[in-house]
Chains A and B, each alone.
Chain A
Amino acid sequence: MADPALHLERATVGYDGTPVLHDVTGQVRAGETVALIGPNGAGKSTLIRAVLGLAPVTAGTITVLGGAPAGARREVAYVPQADTLDLQFPISVAQVMLMGRYRRTGWLRRPGRTDRRIAADALDLVGLAERARARFGTLSGGQRQRVLLARAIAQQPRLLLLDEPFNGVDAVSQDALLAAIGALTRQGAAAVISTHDLALAHLACDAACLINRHVYGFGPVGEVLTPALLRAAYGSQALELRGDRVIVARP
């Protein structure tokens, strides 16, 4: 069998000798969608950074697509939160889309005809083909998130990393995001989605990784997102409903 898209073996991640995440073990296979669940400050972004080779692994190993994280970046696409970007920035949706092709275009060259076609197809996949010429900042929050996902899809990645993609996103955009992620994973890519939304994890993910400084569970959604484990990971932020269900309070 081929290498898993992502393999973590007792990985500890931290800066300046202070570990943020301890002893993470688990794997994500090709075609799989994994929800990364945990409270604020749990280390979700740090884990994503480590998978991108941007945070130091101080013990254990992280293997991405069979190699070191930094070496796999060309095959890995990252989707930032739309609300971290500058709405005034003078850039069109089409230009944002082409950014997904930069690493394949290389230095000194401009994106060519094929790059434009791939970018246009990806934008069409999230249902925003007609907004290509609009300025990025004029789109709604959900639409901006869809463009960022489409840009990642235009990278033709084998591993997709999404940082809280459903924050403040409307229902239409949420459906479009989920459909596009589904289309990508059906072609064999793996996806890791960091989120607070337990219902979405149940709905759209094959597996879940529950973390808060260390792993509370990593496996099928139904086995990981149980009231007992959620209470353990979230502490007082977990609220119990009718004895058998748990919701987590967003801070």
Chain B
Amino acid sequence: MPWLDVAFHRALIEAVLVGLAAGLLGVQVVLRRLAFFTMAMTHATFPGVVVAAVVGVDLYLGGAAAGVLAALAVVALSRRRGHDPSTATAVALAAGFALGVVLLSAQRGFTKDLTAYLVGSILTVTTEDLAVAAAVTAAVALSLALAGRVLAYTAFDRDGARAAGYRTGAVDLGVLLLICAVVVTAVPAAGTILTLALVVAPAGAARLWTDRIGTMTAAAAGIAVTSTTGGLLLSRGLDVAAGAAISLTATGCFAVSMLVGRRDSLLTRWRARRPAGTARPDAGRFPEGG
């Protein structure tokens, strides 16, 4: 039997590809504070997948269409009176997911499909899934390689970047579309929750080790791939849901970095602290200095 015909082998390749794509893009998500947007995308692409399954269109196409619509809705709603981005994002998330649930409930096999959507079914990926994941991973890597500087500039200093002639709106849209692509690719295999874990946790962990965006991106990709493959092996060994095992591996890496990372971890803070009783102030969010 060819190597690729074994479900577990395909799952391993999918794990590496999805880990790479999510880890690479994750640094942009963390630096731009788009974690909630990513979460919303994982849920809002759901109705697109259901509709595509009912109509008989390609599932990725359906998911992508719903994702683009949801992203546009978030951008449009954020501009309404009194709607900050988190409200707009939450509305899109809730609306998209409820639509997906209702559409799916009208079909048979409601329970099984819904569970698969939430926690993924990485052991059932097909060769076609692998091709899509490879293409999206390549697209993410290429975009970061070509536009890395612009992405860093616009994330760090929007006004400055705009003054320097960059079209920040177009850059933002590009990032949102990349997130959409990664989410649509990862969710069928990995599930909604795991996708968020893979995008945010490795990048958040990498940030606790280095201040250089390039190093951070490489580290995030490494942590993500280690988490996906390691979690997959763990889930086989311990007989628990693969998505959950991978999520816990990724968040475990984050927790370890939080404790002993080289930058601003609990360990470095503990070392920097003086023995004298220097209690922290009892309220945060106040401008420091100046």
Is B289 part of the contact surface with A, judged by Cβ < 8 Å?
yes
- CB-based contact A55/B281 at 8 Å: yes
Q: Tell me how far the C-beta of A35 lies from the nearest C-beta in chain B, rounded to whole angstroms.
A: 15
Contacting residues, chain B, for A56 (C-beta < 8 A) = 278-281
Contacting residues, chain B, for A230 (C-beta < 8 A) = none
- CB-based contact B281/A16 at 8 Å: no
- CB-based contact B278/A41 at 8 Å: no
Q: Tell me how far the C-beta of A163 lies from the nearest C-beta in chain B, rounded to whole angstroms.
A: 8
Type the 1/0 row for A132-173, where 1 means its CB is closer than 8 Å to any CB of B. 000000000000000000000000000000011000000000
Report how far A54 CA is from B280 CA in the complex, Å: 9
- CB-based contact B290/A58 at 8 Å: no
- Main SS at interface, chain A: loop
- CB-based contact B289/A43 at 8 Å: yes
CB-CB nearest in chain A for B272: A16
Identify the stretch in A1-9, A44-52, A181-189, A198-206 within 8 Å (CB) of chain B at 4 or more residues: A44-52
Contacting residues, chain A, for B1 (C-beta < 8 A) = none
Is A236 part of the contact surface with B, judged by Cβ < 8 Å?
no
- CB-based contact A49/B276 at 8 Å: no
CB-CB nearest in chain A for B83: A88
Report how far A40 CA is from B289 CA in the complex, Å: 7
The answer, among B272, B280, B288, for a CB contact under 8 Å with A46, is: B288
Report how far A42 CA is from B283 CA in the complex, Å: 21
- CB-based contact A54/B289 at 8 Å: no
- CB-based contact A45/B287 at 8 Å: yes
Contacting residues, chain A, for B84 (C-beta < 8 A) = 88
Contacting residues, chain A, for B278 (C-beta < 8 A) = 14-17, 56, 58
- Main SS at interface, chain B: loop
Contacting residues, chain B, for A112 (C-beta < 8 A) = none
Contacting residues, chain B, for A42 (C-beta < 8 A) = 289-290
Contacting residues, chain B, for A44 (C-beta < 8 A) = 289-290
Contacting residues, chain A, for B56 (C-beta < 8 A) = none
Report how far A41 CA is from B81 CA in the complex, Å: 35
Is B286 part of the contact surface with A, judged by Cβ < 8 Å?
yes
Q: Tell me how far the C-beta of B277 lies from the nearest C-beta in chain A, rounded to whole angstroms.
A: 9
Contacting residues, chain A, for B165 (C-beta < 8 A) = none
Is B273 part of the contact surface with A, judged by Cβ < 8 Å?
yes
Interface residues in A1-27 (C-beta closer than 8 Å to B): 14-17, 20
Contacting residues, chain B, for A114 (C-beta < 8 A) = none
Contacting residues, chain B, for A17 (C-beta < 8 A) = 272-274, 276, 278
Q: Tell me how far the C-beta of A136 lies from the nearest C-beta in chain B, rounded to whole angstroms.
A: 12
Contacting residues, chain B, for A58 (C-beta < 8 A) = 276, 278
Report how far A163 CA is from B272 CA in the complex, Å: 30
Report how far A193 CA is from B273 CA in the complex, Å: 33
- CB-based contact A41/B289 at 8 Å: yes
Contacting residues, chain A, for B279 (C-beta < 8 A) = 56
Interface residues in A78-131 (C-beta closer than 8 Å to B): 84, 88-90
Selected A-B contacts with CB under 8 Å, 8 pairs: A17-B273, A17-B276, A40-B289, A41-B289, A45-B290, A46-B289, A49-B286, A88-B81
4 closest cross-chain pairs (CB), A and B:
A17-B274, A41-B289, A88-B82, A54-B281
Q: Given A54-B282, A90-B82, list of 11 further CB < 8 A pairs?
A: A14-B278, A15-B281, A17-B273, A42-B289, A42-B290, A44-B290, A45-B286, A45-B289, A45-B290, A55-B281, A84-B287
